[in-house]
Amino acid sequence: MTPKKIPERKDIPDDHNWDLTSLFISDEDWDKLFDEVESQINAYTDYKGRLKETVKIFKEAIDFHLSLTRKIERIYTYAHLKSDEDKSNQFYQGLHQRAVSLHTRASESSSFMTPEIQSIADDQMNSFLADDSIAEYKFYLEKILRYKPYTRSETVEHVLAMSREMANAPTLVFGQLDNVDLNFGSLEDESGKEIELSHGNFSTFLISPNRDVRKKAFFQYYQAYEDHKHTLAATLVHSLKKDLFYSRVRNFDNCRAAALFGDNIPETVYDNLIKTVKSNLAPFFKYMDFRKQTLALSELHFYDTYVPIVSDVTFDIPYEAAVEISIQAMRPLGEKYIKVLQEGLLGGWVDRYENRGKRSGAYSSGCYDSSPYILLNYENQNINSVYTLLHEGGHSMHSFYANKHQAFVDHDYTIFVAEVASTFNENLLSRYLLEQYKNDPFKTVYILNREIDNIRATLFRQTMFAEFEKITHSTVEANAPLTLDVITATYRDLLEIYFGDTLVLDPELSLECLRIPHFYSAFYVYKYATGVSAAIALADKVVNEGQPARDAYLNFLMLGGSKFPLDELVDAGVDMRSPGPIQRAIKYFSDLVDRLIDAYQEL
């Protein structure tokens, strides 16, 4: 039997792909702006050494810098989106490299600005800040001035800017190996159809009701990582060493402090997350034991942890139907929100389906001057694809509101709050589906199961990832060896803690840490766990309190990056400085588990 092949990019209909004309009509237009920016970079020298002369010169320099940055973001966004369409397309890989190089050169030329701003005497800076012409830049300047103790001399800053492209090598190597060179082979699904295994459909195989299928998919998938484990370990270690280098050069106490400083997040927020989750694993263990019982297994393995506990519920949801479901689920946010969302999801925001060489996973991306684009690898038969669509739609609507209501200087929100907007949408989707299926006990159980698994993956799993990052960074900070064996043993220890005795840990699972792309963006994953905790609280407020809570939430989206993220969340109605939201999220999870057990007994 001929296996079902992943299509080539050229075989995907145009109306299923994103429309990048909000960025550039053509590659030639991209080249024109590239050449324009390239010719303007040298103009930074007009302002070098002059920022303290007058408030007029000071403002002109910032205006120029932000204008050029805005153009570079547009250039880079187009290049990275085109390169992600097909990682084997060398032309667009070249465009991406050119965009990165342009950004690096601009960073080199502008590297004097931050130390020069920070060198301005406090009295003069206060005078500048009191000038009405600088009003829109106050928060921007506050963030720069906070870094004063961690900013080096002009010469060192210039060298650091030059190093960025080279330092990105571990991430690029991992990306090419993981997205292009790894071959997972083919296998038969439960109907006997031979299908090529890929990142895009691995999760679909893991929800197969046929245990032999999901078991074979698991071991076959991880065999590719076993075959390349030494290379993958080397890329991860050198990514950690990159983090160590930059944190030490800038005189931070540790890598984590450096990563959290920009968002003004105390390390106690990170530690509270880990401590609170690890102290409240009982509901998670209860759920895993219930899963094992309902699947009638003597042993629960990782490949048994995603399959629905009711096997006779199937979904076949075309993309357009998923959009309609999404629109109905988001009605608590009002007609204006859902009108924009619907037009975007059907009108060119989304690159919908997998093609050969396409970047795996999903994301929302864009810039101030473009639509908020979404990359998907949508699967009709996988309900997770509907959740992913609305998750990324949450990011994109956040971008839409922020870009509409903030100036360029303050539009870019942080990842810390971004994950609130995305998981908020997922929570409303589950609430909607549970209402729709309230008279269908099997689908009720299915969606409860799905919501529990979503929180499990976002809160418990990402917290385990966060602790792995903390431990591995601490290892390199202590100048201790971080070999493949140390990496996998560290991960194995965490698996044993976070799963207890509920799961049989196959040796292959210790390789999971080598395939997580987010580990190349240090101290990122904890934001999923804090985000889902805040989202659960805010979704509950919107559903139960109506317009005041809805308005507060939409105003939160409008803030963009105009405040520090913890302050934005306080405005929305939740304080992440305390363990309270994490505890409430775990209580919500525990209640869902009890509700699932009761519903299952009535089948």
Q: Which residues are catalytic?
A: 392
Q: What's the CA gap between 30 and 102, in Å, rounded?
A: 13
| HEC-encoded secondary structure of 320-357 | HHHHHHHHHHCHHHCHHHHHHHHHHHHCCCEECCCCCC
| HEC-encoded secondary structure of 516-553 | CHHHHCCCCCHHHHHHHHHHHHHHHHHHHHCHHHHHHH
Task: List 196's β-bridge partners, or say none.
Answer: 186
Structural tokens at position 39: 């010719």
Structural tokens at position 183: 């071959």
| Single-letter amino acid, residue 18 | W
Q: What's the CA gap between 582 and 118, in Å, rounded?
A: 37
DSSP string over 497-519: HHHTTSSB--GGGGGGGGS-GGG
Computed on alpha carbons and rounded to an integer, the radius of gyration of the chain in Å comes to 24
Name the 3-class secondary structure at 306: coil
Q: How far is CA 286 from the centre of its chain?
A: 29
Bridging pattern class, strands 363-365 and 373-375: antiparallel
For CA atoms 189, 195, 199, 201, the dihedral sign is negative
Residues listed for the chain: 603
Q: What are phi and psi of 195, to 5 degrees?
A: -130, 140
Q: What's the CA gap between 590 and 587, in Å, rounded?
A: 5
Q: What's the CA gap between 209 and 195, in Å, rounded?
A: 16
Q: Find the angle CA(18)-CA(19)-CA(20) to the nearest 5 degrees.
A: 105
